[in-house]
A = this chain, B = another copy of it.
Amino acid sequence: MTESTRREKLRADTEREILACARRLLVEDGSHAVTLRAIARELGITAPALYRYYDSRADLLRHVCDDISADLAATLNPQLSAIPISQPTERVFAVCRGFRQWALAHPREFTLVFATSPEETGTPANRPAQDHFGRVFLEVAGPLLSEHKIYPSGSLDVPERLRGELTAYRDDLAASLAAAGHQVAGEKLQLGTIYLILQWWARMYGHVALEVFGRFPFAVNDAEPLFESMLTELASVVGFSS
């Protein structure tokens, strides 16, 4: 952002150019087409020059991932702002629908960011990667679920073995929400809430991934009704009729 010297400005420029070119190649021809030589060719430089900017192809792909998830968050946030905070359910729905729409419209980006095993890109455990989206999702789902402090309707207790990890995550989430301005009364974020968020995320992820990959057990031409009914069902689990 704050490039003072002339050199730094130029460097930042070509860095942006590299990422943009990589994204274009990814979108148009798939991740296998994101090639150091292809990028260099397009920028009018040679492949080894790219090593001044990234340690390796894997490193470059990792940055492309970050770039993509930042874009995803930038797409979701405006849709979110259009819905008043007083309608948290609608906000969560907006995020979910937005995520699905984005994934369908950007299948290759989705695949790279959300459906590539960490080892393929050489991702070291906990990259921020999809965290940009995770934050958006959690910052919406968190308030929704915490403000109405609802336990799963099924009266499910949180499995004993999960309590420890869920507790750690609750603290992490609470801190992140506080840092973002949202004030959530600490105790309102119950473990059951965290538990629900996890299940919600797994379910939405499953649907979207299957739809993007066309891996439903039979050819589904239009999975939107399936998605919508999942949303209303999820909402009803939390205690809303939609």
**Residues on A facing B (Cβ under 8 Å):** 30-32, 107-108, 111, 114-120, 125-126, 130, 134, 137-138, 154, 156, 159-162, 165, 168-169, 172-173, 195, 197-199, 201-207, 209-210, 212-222, 224-226, 228-230, 232-233, 236
State the CA gap A137–B217 with chains docked (Å): 10
State the CA gap A236–B153 with chains docked (Å): 12
Residue numbers in B under 8 Å from A202 (CB-CB): 203, 206-207, 210, 216, 226, 230
Known contacts A203-B202, A217-B198; is-contact A209 B125 (Cβ 8 Å): no
The answer on a CB contact under 8 Å between B201 and A217 is yes
Among the listed B116, B117, B198, B226, which residue makes an inter-chain contact with A216, where contact means beta carbons less than 8 Å apart?
Answer: B198
State the CA gap A214–B130 with chains docked (Å): 12
The answer on a CB contact under 8 Å between B115 and A213 is yes
Interface of A is mostly: helix
With CB as the reference atom, state the residue of chain B lying closest to A212: B117
Residue numbers in B under 8 Å from A198 (CB-CB): 216-217, 220, 226
The answer on a CB contact under 8 Å between A225 and B161 is yes
With CB as the reference atom, state the residue of chain B lying closest to A30: B119
Give, as a whole number of angstroms, the nearest-CB distance from A134 to chain B: 5
Residue numbers in B under 8 Å from A159 (CB-CB): 225-226, 228-229
The answer on a CB contact under 8 Å between A161 and B205 is no
Give, as a whole number of angstroms, the nearest-CB distance from A171 to chain B: 10
Most B CB within 10 A of own CB, among A114, A198, A220, A232:
A198
Give, as a whole number of angstroms, the nearest-CB distance from A7 to chain B: 36
Offer 7 A-B interface pairs, CB within 8 angstroms, sorted by A: A115-B117, A125-B214, A154-B236, A169-B218, A202-B206, A202-B207, A205-B209
Known contacts A119-B30, A134-B217, A217-B198; is-contact A160 B225 (Cβ 8 Å): yes
Residue numbers in B under 8 Å from A173 (CB-CB): 218
The answer on a CB contact under 8 Å between B30 and A209 is no
Smallest CB-CB A-B distances: 6 pairs: A206-B206, A159-B225, A169-B218, A202-B206, A161-B225, A162-B225
State the CA gap A70–B104 with chains docked (Å): 30
Residue numbers in B under 8 Å from A232 (CB-CB): 156
Residue numbers in B under 8 Å from A233 (CB-CB): 154, 156
Residue numbers in B under 8 Å from A215 (CB-CB): 114, 130, 205
With CB as the reference atom, state the residue of chain B lying closest to A221: B165
